[in-house]
């Protein structure tokens, strides 16, 4: 999604940064084989030491033009420790930065240590499967995020083919927006290929990502 996100409407390209903040442990470093150090641990430390947002080039991996990934620790205990103390500092540094920060928070519950980051976000996206047992969990999450501030826009991305139409889903969720995306069995390999460029960017997944990225960029302004 970050790779497909529009780089700019006008003027110089805007950097997009994926920040892996899953307190259950990160997967991006191992999944795409670029490791976790440096990553969120060094970035959180930098946010404590200095004013202003950290440079993603110092803590992340460049995966495409103006696109970086800052991977998180793979072990849940370490990830939770990092974010329990670091979330307020990171939220403060990123809130006014001109880059697009896409924070993967994993399963954020009501007592999550990531609440400061959520509360300072312009757009929160709840990602759900398309089965009934997945969808029935969404309204509580939407209400949770909306309770953190009136300025937060909350949308829901349903991955797969739900039986309900968009209006029904939006009304049931209580969300500001609803989107539906494809769910191929080989999503991981397709994602890796799309990041690398080439023919993979003719795929249905890439087209869906670019369409959705453009719409999300408008919603998040």
Residue 45 lies in a domain: yes
Helix (H, G, I), strand (E, B) or coil at 187: helix
28 and 108 inside one domain = yes
Helix (H) or strand (E) holding 70: strand 67-70
The DSSP code for 34 is: -
Write the pLDDT tens digit of every residue in 99-150: 999 999 999 988 999 999 999 999 999 999 999 999 999 999 999 999 987 7
Q: How many domains does the chain have?
A: 2
DSSP character for 72? P
Domain shared by 2 and 72, yes or no: yes
- Same domain? For 1 and 106 the reply is yes
Task: Give yes or no for residue 221 having a pLDDT over 70.
Answer: no
**Percentage of the chain surpassing pLDDT 90?**
65
Say whether pLDDT at 43 is over 60.
yes
Together in a domain, 8 and 83: yes
Q: pLDDT per residue over 138-161, tens digit each?
A: 999 999 999 987 778 999 999 999
Say if 96 falls within a structural domain: yes
For residue 117, is it within any domain? no
Helix (H) or strand (E) holding 127: strand 123-129
Residue where a domain stops, chosen among 112, 143, 168: 112
Taking only the tens place, the pLDDT of each residue in 154-183 is: 999 999 999 999 999 999 999 999 999 988
pLDDT given for residue 78 in this prediction = 96
pLDDT of 12 above 90: no
pTM, full prediction: 0.91
Q: What are phi and psi of 165, to 5 degrees?
A: -85, 175
State whether 73 and 128 are in the same domain.
no
Query: pLDDT category, 202, cuts 50, 70, 90?
Result: confident
Full domain range(s) for residue 146: 122-221
Longest Cα–Cα distance of the chain, Å, equals 50
119: helix, strand or coil: helix
């Amino acid at each position: 999604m970050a790779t497909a996100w529009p780089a700019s409407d006008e003027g110089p390209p805007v950097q997009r940064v994926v920040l892996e903040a899953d307190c259950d442990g990160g997967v991006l470093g191992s999944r795409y084989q670029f490791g976790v150090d440096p990553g969120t641990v060094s970035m959180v430390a930098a946010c404590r030491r200095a004013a202003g947002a950290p440079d993603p080039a110092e803590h992340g991996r460049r995966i495409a033009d103006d696109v970086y990934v800052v991977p998180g620790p793979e072990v849940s205990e370490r990830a939770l420790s990092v974010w329990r103390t670091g979330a307020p500092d990171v939220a403060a540094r990123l809130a006014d930065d001109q880059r697009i920060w896409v924070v993967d928070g994993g399963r954020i519950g009501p007592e999550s240590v990531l609440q400061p980051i959520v509360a300072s976000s312009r757009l929160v996206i709840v990602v759900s499967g398309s089965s009934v047992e997945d969808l029935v969990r969404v309204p509580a999450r939407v209400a949770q995020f909306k309770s953190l501030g009136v300025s937060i826009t909350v949308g829901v991305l349903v991955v797969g083919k739900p039986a309900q139409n968009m209006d029904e889903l939006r009304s049931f969720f209580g969300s500001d927006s609803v989107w539906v995306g494809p769910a191929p069995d080989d999503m991981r390999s397709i994602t890796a290929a799309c990041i690398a460029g080439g023919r993979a960017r003719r795929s249905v997944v890439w087209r869906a990502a670019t369409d959705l990225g453009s719409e999300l960029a408008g919603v998040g302004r």
